[in-house]
């Protein structure tokens, strides 16, 4: 097992001055405490290094934000050059125009772009614009979907929020057409928008791809209701199809949010929309102190170039496919119903025989012992910095980890 | 923020009364398990009684076995794995509180109306035992000399049965809705409970040391030792910090445990309500 004494010492210090020590999804309790590092000091390519000096092949990729690798000079070079010249200026940098033009040309069906910082900013803005445009209140979303940490969509289900910001959110089981139809029937005339991730990636559960019929039903119901269809592509963007994950699944949204991989870890997200919503977006007061900072926009432009140079989504799918096939085969050989769900570039392993996740936790802890960072409760990410050698080493580690689980 | 009982809405007052009564009975039971002197002085026929709360849900039982039918109580092990809501025989006494405020007052040690209703032989022995055992539980919790395993047992019982008492509150309804159903095995050293969440209810099962688990544990929450349990359960150390530092370990269905942590936050809020 790795030594995490420096991580633990930082955590004890943090406990005195930061609520929970480390809050939110990075909390040690979300991993397997004691088997994963709490504090990281650097990353390079596909590797991360913790404050104790342990090295890991990383399959969390900064929760998806690293798509061309940590410290990629093709991105960091121009970004750092702009940082020296000035990042947050009074007025936008021309890179904002260039990035908007580039994205509008790239992302299918989208005619304008608004830049924000986090995924929550983008999804909140998307639903707000939908509400403002329709004059209707209700937002329909899938059970267990994550659309951010604002009060309207977070898991902070205190009554003060459920009776206010969460009051008009309605849920249905993902991929369940009858349930979605029922929701639309119950709330007829009141629905502002349907917000869906391009595929379902709930925490703690196998991922689900949408059926074509489900996508068609979603679009049909939105059109009939006069509600806008939002695809929240924050987590998956650029890993399935550079034109937007909605293209991968044959969907035709009115609004799309993207983030994470957009600038390889630099803080920027985007809300994009169709022509039909331009007027409402134009009349909306949209601002944030850091929302127009130049460095992330320059990083995003460089990331788009670098993704293409490194092989893009085809390469991600190839590497992810190798990992999936290898893990499932090794799992079967060890006597487990190990199943990798989700698209190849965003895999997640679960065990058919263990819905309670004990095996996930033990497997991922055993992988961490062997220098591979795979989250037991959150989907993983492939980056273009991963190599065939990384996958081979990962599978070798997995062979040992599965053997540790064997009864 | 400090809250007074009078500031609570009607439902909260009912929940508070129910919580107070539950804790009084369960702590009396744990004191009986932990203290040989208390066991020796308990009625030979045992104690079967209940607290009835006017307008605050079903009555809450206390069932102490007869001295000649004691199970293994070494180390404070429980004599059964029955849920706390079950009485194995007809109660000798109902201690009736006509209102939530009466229960809150009396069970907080202030003056208030409590009506003992004898239902059979041994009623007054039961009442005397309840008073003595409640008072002994409070002493043991406060006394720094109380052994760690006993203090941990008392705090664990108070916490888990506290969750059971408040789980149905409407405040928690949405939270309970999104938490998956299942059972959590909670343990520290030789002490073990199962907390079963089903819909908007929580049921706590004790287990006999060394016996088989009464239900499948979808998740496990274990304290590294009694000292850690006392620190966390007394509020001296946050559970999330204890998790990170290895004093608490959770395995299995994390959303179930995390959901119960949220109920625990509500319990802490109730524990801070003053008369």
Q: Rounded to whole angstroms, how far apart are CA atoms A96 and A106?
A: 15
Are B254 and A29 an interchain contact pair (Cβ–Cβ within 8 Å)? yes
Whether A134 shows a pLDDT value over 50: the answer reads: yes
Contact A289/B at CB under 8 A: no
Q: What is the pLDDT of residues A32-76, one digit of tens each?
A: 999 999 999 999 999 999 999 999 999 999 999 999 999 999 999
Contact A3/B at CB under 8 A: no
- CA dihedral for A333, A335, A340, A341, sign (positive or negative): positive
Q: Is there a contact between A127 and A121 (Cβ–Cβ < 8 Å)? A: no
Total Cβ atoms within 10 A of residue B253: 25
Are A21 and B241 an interchain contact pair (Cβ–Cβ within 8 Å)? yes
DSSP strands (E only) in A276-369 = 338-341, 348-351
Contacts of A155 in chain B (CB under 8 A): 178
Could you tell me which residues come within 8 angstroms of residue A228 by beta carbon, excluding any fewer than 6 positions away? A130, A133, A134, A192, A193, A194, A222, A254, A255, A277
pLDDT value of position A192 = 98
Poorest-pLDDT segment among A78-92, B26-40, B55-69, B240-254: B55-69
Q: Average of pLDDT values for A334-351? A: 97
Percent residues over pLDDT 70 in chain A = 100
Contacts of A18 in chain B (CB under 8 A): none
pLDDT value of position B1 = 74
DSSP conformational letter for B79 = S
DSSP secondary structure string for all residues of A259-289: -GGGGTTSS-EEEEE-GGGHHHHHTS----T
Q: What is the pLDDT of residues A136-179, one digit of tens each?
A: 999 999 999 999 999 999 888 788 888 888 899 999 999 999 99
Whether B72 shows a pLDDT value over 80: the answer reads: no
pLDDT value of position B275 = 86
DSSP 3-state of A306: helix
Contact A5/B at CB under 8 A: no
User: Residue B75 — very low, low, confident or very high, per pLDDT cuts 50/70/90?
Assistant: very low
Q: Rounded to whole angstroms, how far apart are CA atoms A303 and A103?
A: 12
Tokens 């405040």 map to which residue?
B171
Q: What is the pLDDT of residues B147-193, one digit of tens each?
A: 999 999 999 999 999 999 999 999 999 889 989 999 999 999 989 99
Q: Is there a contact between A362 and A398 (Cβ–Cβ < 8 Å)? A: no
Q: Rounded to whole angstroms, how far apart are CA atoms B82 and B80?
A: 6
Q: Is there a contact between B22 and B64 (Cβ–Cβ < 8 Å)? A: no
Min Cα separation B218/chain A (Å): 6
Whether A97 shows a pLDDT value over 70: the answer reads: yes
pLDDT value of position B83 = 46
Phi and psi of A40, rounded to 5°? -110, 150
Are A29 and B240 an interchain contact pair (Cβ–Cβ within 8 Å)? yes
Q: Rounded to whole angstroms, how far apart are CA atoms B31 and A242?
A: 66
Greater confidence (A187 vs B68) lies with A187
Are B244 and A38 an interchain contact pair (Cβ–Cβ within 8 Å)? yes
Give residue ranges of B with CB < 8 Å to any A CB: 170-171, 174-175, 178, 182, 218-219, 238, 240-241, 243-246, 249-255, 258, 262
Percent residues over pLDDT 90 in chain A = 95
Pairing state between β B201-206 and A138-142: unpaired
Q: Average of pLDDT values for B61-69? A: 81
Pairing state between β B115-118 and B93-97: antiparallel
pLDDT value of position B57 = 81
Whether B110 shows a pLDDT value over 80: the answer reads: yes
What's A112-178 look like in SS3? EEEEECCHHHHHHHHHHHHHHHHCCCEEEEECCCCCCCCCCCCCCCCHHHHCCCCCCEEEECCCCHH
Q: Which of A284-288, A314-318, B89-93, B166-170 has the highest mean pLDDT?
A: A314-318
Identify which of A157, A162, A204 has the shortest CB distance to residue B255: A204
Are A28 and B174 an interchain contact pair (Cβ–Cβ within 8 Å)? no
DSSP strands (E only) in A305-378 = 338-341, 348-351, 372-373
Q: Average of pLDDT values for A374-380? A: 97
Q: Which residues of B126-146 are buried (b: 16+ CB within 10 A; e: fewer)?
A: bbebbebbbebbbebbeeeeb
Tokens 């062979």 map to which residue?
A399
Whether A392 shows a pLDDT value over 90: the answer reads: yes
Contact A24/B at CB under 8 A: no
Q: Rounded to whole angstroms, how far apart are CA atoms A378 and A40?
A: 18
pLDDT value of position A407 = 59
Contacts of B251 in chain A (CB under 8 A): 358, 361
Are B245 and A11 an interchain contact pair (Cβ–Cβ within 8 Å)? yes
User: Residue B68 — very low, low, confident or very high, per pLDDT cuts 50/70/90?
Assistant: low
Nearest by Cα to B204 from B16, B30, B6, B10: B30
Residue B11 tokens read as 């439902």
Are A356 and B255 an interchain contact pair (Cβ–Cβ within 8 Å)? no
Contacts of A20 in chain B (CB under 8 A): 238, 240-241
Cβ-Cβ pairs closer than 8 A, A with B, add up to 64
pLDDT value of position A14 = 96
Whether B71 shows a pLDDT value over 50: the answer reads: no
The mean predicted confidence, pLDDT, of chain A is 96
Q: Is there a contact between B171 and B258 (Cβ–Cβ < 8 Å)? A: no
| Residue B207 CB-density burial (10 A; 0-12 exposed, 13-18 middle, 19+ buried) | buried
């Amino acid at each position: 097992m790795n030594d995490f004494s420096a991580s633990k010492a930082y955590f004890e210090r943090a406990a005195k001055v930061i609520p929970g020590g480390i809050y939110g999804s990075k909390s040690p309790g979300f991993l397997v405490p004691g088997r994963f590092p709490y504090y990281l000091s650097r990353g390079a390519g596909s590797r991360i290094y913790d404050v104790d000096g342990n090295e890991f092949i990383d399959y969390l990729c900064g929760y998806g934000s690293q798509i061309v690798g940590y410290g990629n000079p093709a991105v960091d070079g121009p970004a750092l050059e702009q940082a020296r010249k000035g990042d947050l200026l009074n007025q936008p940098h021309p890179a904002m125009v260039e990035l908007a033009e580039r994205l509008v040309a790239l992302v299918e069906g989208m005619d304008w772009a608004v830049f924000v910082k986090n995924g929550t900013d983008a999804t909140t803005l998307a639903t707000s614009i939908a509400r403002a445009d329709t004059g209707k209140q209700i937002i329909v979303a899938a059970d267990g979907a994550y659309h951010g940490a604002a009060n309207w969509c977070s898991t902070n289900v205190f009554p003060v929020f459920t009776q206010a910001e969460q009051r008009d959110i309605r849920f249905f089981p993902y991929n369940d057409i009858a349930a979605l139809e029922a929701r639309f029937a119950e709330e007829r005339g009141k629905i502002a928008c349907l917000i869906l991730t391009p595929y379902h990636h709930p925490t703690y559960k196998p991922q689900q791809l949408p059926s074509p019929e489900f996508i068609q039903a979603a679009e049909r119901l939105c059109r009939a209701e006069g509600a806008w269809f939002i695809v929240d592509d924050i987590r998956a963007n650029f890993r399935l199809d550079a034109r937007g994950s909605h293209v991968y699944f044959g969907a035709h949204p009115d609004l799309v949010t993207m983030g994470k991989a957009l600038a390889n870890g630099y803080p920027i997200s985007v809300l994009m929309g169709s022509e039909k919503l331009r007027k409402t977006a134009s009349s909306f007061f949209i601002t944030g102190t850091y929302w127009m900072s130049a460095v992330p926009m320059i990083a995003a432009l460089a990331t788009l170039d670098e993704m293409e140079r490194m092989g893009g989504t085809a390469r991600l799918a190839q590497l992810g496919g190798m990992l999936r096939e290898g893990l499932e085969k090794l799992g079967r050989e060890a006597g487990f119903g190990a199943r990798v769900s989700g698209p190849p570039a965003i895999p997640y392993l679960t065990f058919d025989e263990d819905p309670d996740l004990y095996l996930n936790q033990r497997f991922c802890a055993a992988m961490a012992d062997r220098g591979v960072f795979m989250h037991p409760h959150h989907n993983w990410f492939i980056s273009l910095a991963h190599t065939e050698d990384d996958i081979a080493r990962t599978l070798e580690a997995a062979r040992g980890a599965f053997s540790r689980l064997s009864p | 923020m400090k809250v007074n009982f009078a500031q609570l809405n009607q439902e909260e007052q009912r929940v508070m009364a129910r919580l107070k009564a539950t804790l009084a009975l369960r702590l009396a039971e744990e004191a009986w398990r932990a203290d040989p002197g208390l066991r020796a002085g308990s009625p030979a026929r045992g104690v079967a009684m209940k607290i009835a709360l006017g307008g605050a849900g079903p009555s809450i039982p206390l069932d102490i076995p007869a001295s000649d039918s004691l199970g293994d109580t070494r180390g404070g092990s429980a004599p059964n794995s029955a849920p706390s809501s079950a009485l194995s025989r007809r109660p000798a006494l109902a201690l009736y509180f006509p209102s939530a405020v009466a229960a809150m007052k009396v069970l907080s040690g202030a003056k208030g109306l409590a009506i003992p209703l004898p239902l059979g032989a041994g009623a007054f022995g039961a009442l005397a035992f309840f008073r003595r055992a409640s008072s002994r539980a409070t002493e043991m919790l406060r006394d720094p000399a109380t052994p760690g395993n006993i203090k941990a047992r008392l705090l664990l019982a108070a916490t888990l049965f506290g969750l059971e008492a408040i789980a149905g509150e409407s405040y928690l309804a949405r939270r309970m809705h999104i938490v998956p159903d299942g059972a959590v095995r909670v343990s520290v050293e030789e002490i073990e409970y199962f907390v079963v969440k089903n819909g908007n209810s929580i049921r706590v099962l004790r287990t006999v040391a060394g016996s088989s688990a009464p239900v499948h544990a979808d998740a496990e929450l274990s304290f590294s030792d009694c000292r850690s349990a006392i620190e966390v359960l007394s509020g001296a150390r946050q559970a999330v910090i204890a998790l990170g530092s290895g004093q608490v370990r959770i395995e299995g269905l994390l959303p179930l445990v995390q959901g119960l942590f949220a109920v625990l936050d509500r319990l802490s809020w109730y524990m801070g309500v003053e008369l």
